[in-house]
Amino acid sequence: MTVIGFESRARLGSLLLAISLALLVISSLASRYSGGYGPRAANTDFWAYYFAAQTLGENPQAHLYEYGEGRNPQVYRALPLSEMGRHAAQAGIPEVRQFVYPPILADALVPLSRVSPSRAAFIWRAFNLLCMFASTLMIARAIRIRWLSFEFAGLTLAAISFYPIHEAIYFGQIMIVLLALWSLSVLAYQEGHIVLSACALAVATSLKVTPILIIPMFILWKDRKWLFSYLTTGIGLFGIMAVVNGVEILRAWGHVLTNMSGLEPSTSNKNIASVFAWIYYGRIFDTDSMIQVISAPSLMLSIASKAASGIFFLGCLYPVWRNRLRISRAEKGTVIAVLALAIITISPVSWRHAYAIAFLPLAMVWARALRQRVPLWQGLVLAVTTVSLGTLFLDGASALPLPPFAQILLASIWVLSSVAFCLTTLWSRAWTCGPTSEPSPLERRRVEPGVLLQQ
């Protein structure tokens, strides 16, 4: 037992937050002015959306995934003979990634595909910035801070500096839109708008299928209204795709989805399976060198990584079930946010920009950490997770000429800290069943300075 007063803990939490935010800003500036990926990599993912939209603009039932079957579409470009490749060549872009998303994303971008590529990319980036700012507004409301406040300015600065958000915007990735949809779902659920919450995640699932893994949590909560709304909206959206794009294109997308479910141990693919692969092979891989591994995957490695991912996810769901009768609706919003990060961690394909979603649970848990009596070690887990996910320091260090074990450890901290954050948050009563309102300044002054804090 360690005697730490409320004010001491508040100062310690504020100090950890200040250090974390400073490191986010430093990393953000470094990534912007150190060259990064180079101008050729800008809008890499957006070009796949854009030229897929052009393809469907000409024919809504075109063979969008014609060359996506039978190989891993994540690591190969669209062939020049494909419809997407032809459109890209006509626009002066020699290579474009294969389109791996449900066709509704391309359908939605058909109007944007009718303007020039440069103008479309500008509009898309502006839209993503608006989605990021909308996310900060919704998160601020969810954690009860005023929009015109110093705290909101800090939240916005953190969002701009959070590396996965920066990378997603730079590549033109859809993850910023998904961040806005997850934020809307959490806020709506906290405020009792169950149908809106479910519809937001159903739309997110129609854009990127991984949010479907949130369903077991609502089954454990026996939230029939949410489940009915989610399933109805989801089935409706996929029904629209079947009518507009045809059943055949959905079948082809299903093949693409299964081909993406294998092992991809690139150092930029941050998930539990990648960590197992790095340990198994005794080295980390870049995008090019991992081709040798995914062409001849180890069955034992695949089984072990899937088992570990399943055990971790069950470890996240158990406290959700255990606390189902004691947790408030507001606290359920925090749990939904944390499960979003857990889902990214177990997904077979979770590139660094996918962790833009992590900004939502990190912001919500930071708000609680600064308002409640939180053990020091939990505060440190929160700070380490924020820095490891929000900066490139550890990933950059893993590329240095170090022993393979050190490289693996540095590259793995991204995933290991996410796992630790999810488990410590969901298993701790202080996070999931604690007070839901911020103590007033008067209440803070009334707290005795000798409160016991269990370490």
The SS3 of residue 327 is: coil
264 pLDDT exceeds 70? yes
292 pLDDT exceeds 50? yes
26 pLDDT exceeds 80? yes
Strand positions, DSSP E, 205-291: none
| Structure token pair of residue 148 | 């015109």
Tokens 């699932």 correspond to what residue? 205
Confidence category of residue 376, pLDDT binned at 50, 70, 90: confident
78-81 LR contacts (CB < 8 Å, sep 24+): 78/48, 78/51
- Tens of pLDDT, residues 122-176: 999 999 999 999 999 999 999 999 998 999 999 999 999 999 999 999 999 999 9
Burial of 133 (C-beta count, 10 Å sphere; 0-12/13-18/19+): middle
- Tens of pLDDT, residues 399-444: 899 999 999 999 999 999 999 999 999 998 644 444 444 443 333 4
- Tens of pLDDT, residues 51-72: 999 999 888 888 888 654 445 6
Domain that holds residue 211: 2-288+297-451
Round the average pLDDT of the chain to a whole number and report it.
85
φ, ψ for residue 262 (rounded to 5)?
-85, -165
What CA–CA distances, in Å, run from 18 to 15, 155, 156?
A: 5, 12, 14
If one counts the domains in the chain, the total is: 1
pLDDT average, residue stretch 186-205: 96
Q: Residue 51: which H helix or E strand, with range?
A: helix 44-58
For residue 441, what pLDDT is reported?
39
For residue 434, what pLDDT is reported?
43
For residue 74, what pLDDT is reported?
67
Lowest mean pLDDT among 109-113, 256-260, 283-287, 341-345: 256-260
Tokens 């971790």 correspond to what residue? 312
Strand positions, DSSP E, 113-221: none
Binning the chain into helix, strand and coil, the percentages to the nearest 5 are 70, 0, 30
